[in-house]
Amino acid sequence: MFRYLKRVADHLTSDFLGGPKPWKFSWVINFQKAGTFVFVAFLMWYYQNFSTAAYLYLALHGAYGFVWLLKDLSFPDANWQKRITIPAGLVAFFGVLFWYWAIAWLLISQPVTPDYPLTDAAWFAMCTALCILGCVIMIAADAQKYYTLRYQKGLIQTGIHKYIRHPNYLGEIMIYGSFGLLAWHWGAAVILAAVWLFVFVPNMVAKEKSLSRYPEWPEYKKRSGWLSPYI
């Protein structure tokens, strides 16, 4: 099933409806990342919500967008450099990326700060720590992959990839998980669950199939986990 979802997603975000391919996939992603800070600030102004939760969301999600742009400038992911059709770009934006902005709307459109399970200060600290750690894991994983493969092709089994086969996805899950926890709304849980199940998991399954061609794969798979060591 996940392989089928991967093929469908690749078609919808690459060749959908055919025609010329005037832009790169990375341009669509970077537009959303660059616009996050402005979009969240606009929501705060529109709803006149200047609570600590709103400002913290602006800082975390907005700064993450800039972190992504710096990453793409320094060590771009080859998967995002392919050219895509205009309809495919619109599907990628409105079908996936736009929904990340919806999490901000779920928080900021509320007239009061959500009723968190812990004190506001403790909840904010937890979300901040989760986001920062996720950013570090994601950046470290992508940087190691980019610079290692420039000089040595093959299966990466060292560094942050030693015990985790998909550390970049782990980092992304932690980052967006922190945004969802800050919004503390069932809608955010639905959005994240859908993206993780229908986008992240098929991509990880496809990556594992690709990596299985290396002779070291069986041993590496045995001593490593998907998103956590030994799991």
pLDDT digits (tens, 9 = 90+) for 101-160: 999 999 999 999 999 999 999 999 999 999 999 999 999 999 999 999 988 888 999 999
φ and ψ at residue 83, rounded to 5 degrees: -85, 145
Is residue 45 domain-resident?
Answer: yes
pLDDT per residue as tens digits for the range 4-37? 667 777 767 888 888 889 889 999 999 999 999 9
Instruction: Tell me whether strands 83-84 and 23-24 are parallel, antiparallel or unpaired.
Output: antiparallel
Q: Would the pLDDT of 2 be above 70?
A: no
The whole domain housing 11 covers 2-222
113 Cβ partners below 8 Å, 6+ apart?
Answer: 51, 52, 53, 120
Is residue 227 domain-resident?
Answer: no
49 three-state secondary structure: coil
Is residue 58 domain-resident?
Answer: yes
Is residue 83 domain-resident?
Answer: yes
Number of compact structural domains in the chain: 1
pTM for this predicted structure: 0.93
Is residue 230 domain-resident?
Answer: no
